[in-house]
């Protein structure tokens, strides 16, 4: 564990607000592959330069709501498309159409590979139960409930704020703090007693933008420095490293 902010690491906590993809389940990888399939083909068809690379995922897509990611990455290549409607079919050349095309890739890859939660994340969830910490999911993904179900975790969290719930409430997505604040509100716990747990720069920034008790970065490839620069108070590579913070065994 790397502690960037020792004072804040002492804050009293009552709840953990977990991102899902890349924090509880390894599905950030599924999103990453689906985005690569979409944009490698789309940029080639448009002759857009430079071609799509992994760095684009971490800079423009990781952690953000689906259509925000499409818009931000296209803008980086100077491409502007009409927004379209959220229900646009995948073949339509709109922000929503491209996002929904990516979702077809996502669902196919998810179906092929299935989902198993990270063992260290399951161990932390078990410790949360043992030491009576509340646990919520805060994910930009509209597939959040589907992924939880596939991982056998559908009933494991007191509160789930996913991309569908956020859009029903009209909440801006990460890096805005609103979806995390909503989860604290639904748990009935002051945000200052909640820890945000995130693997994406946009998600850590969302945590740092709210008055949360602690912002925990999970380094699944983004890098410790980038997570600390975005506002992480501490960084782990596996959630089991957090168990000693909850109480004595
Ligand atoms: O397209 P979905 O399932 O609504 O997901 C939105 C985003 O959810 C985030 O959790 C992922 O990090 C992003 O890569 C993804 O694009």
Bridge partners (DSSP) listed for residue 17: 136, 196
Q: What is the pTM of this model?
A: 0.95
Percent of the chain past pLDDT 90, that is, above it, reads 99
User: Predicted ipTM?
Assistant: 0.97
Low-confidence stretches of the chain (pLDDT < 50) are none
Q: Which of 108, 130, 147 is nearest to 26 (CA)?
A: 147
Angle at alpha carbon of residue 20, lines to 10 and 201, rounded to 5°: 65
Ligand 1 contact, 66 CB (< 6 A): yes
What is the CA(6)–ligand 1 centre distance, in A?
31
- Residue nearest ligand 1's atom 9 by CA: 63
Cβ 173 under 6 angstroms from ligand 1: no
| 65 Cβ closer than 6 Å to some ligand 1 atom | yes
Q: Which of 21, 88, 219, 233 is catalytic?
A: 21
Q: Catalytic annotation on 88? A: no
Q: Is 198 helix (H, G, I), strand (E, B) or coil?
A: strand
pLDDT given at position 247: 86
Active site residue 21: yes
Domains of the chain: 2-27+116-246 (3.40.50.1000), 29-113 (1.10.150)
Q: Is the CB of 61 inside a 6 Å radius of any atom of ligand 1?
A: yes
The answer, yes or no, to whether any atom of ligand 1 lies below 6 A from the CB of 163, is yes
């Amino acid at each position: 564990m790397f502690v960037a902010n020792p004072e804040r690491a002492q804050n009293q906590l009552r709840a953990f607000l977990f991102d899902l993809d890349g924090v509880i389940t390894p599905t950030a990888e599924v999103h990453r592959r689906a985005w690569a399939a979409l944009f490698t083909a789309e940029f080639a068809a448009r002759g857009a330069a430079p071609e799509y690379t992994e760095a684009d995922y971490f800079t423009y897509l990781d952690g953000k709501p689906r259509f925000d990611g499409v818009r931000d990455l296209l803008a980086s290549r100077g491409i502007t498309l009409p927004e379209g409607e959220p229900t646009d079919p995948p073949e339509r050349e709109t922000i929503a159409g491209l996002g929904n095309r990516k979702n077809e890739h996502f669902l196919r890859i998810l179906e092929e590979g299935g989902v198993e939660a990270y063992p260290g994340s399951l161990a932390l969830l078990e410790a949360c139960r043992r030491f009576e910490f509340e646990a919520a999911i805060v994910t930009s993904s509209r597939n959040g409930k589907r992924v939880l179900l596939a991982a056998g975790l559908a009933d494991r969290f007191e509160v789930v704020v996913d991309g569908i719930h956020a859009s029903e409430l009209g909440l801006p997505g990460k890096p805005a703090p609103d979806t995390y604040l909503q989860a604290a509100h639904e748990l009935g716990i002051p945000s200052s007693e909640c820890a945000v747990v995130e693997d994406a720069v946009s998600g850590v920034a969302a945590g740092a933008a709210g008055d949360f008790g602690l912002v925990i970065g999970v380094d699944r490839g983004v890098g410790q420095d980038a997570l600390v620069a975005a506002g992480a108070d501490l960084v782990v590579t596996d959630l089991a490293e957090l168990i000693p913070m909850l109480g004595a065994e």
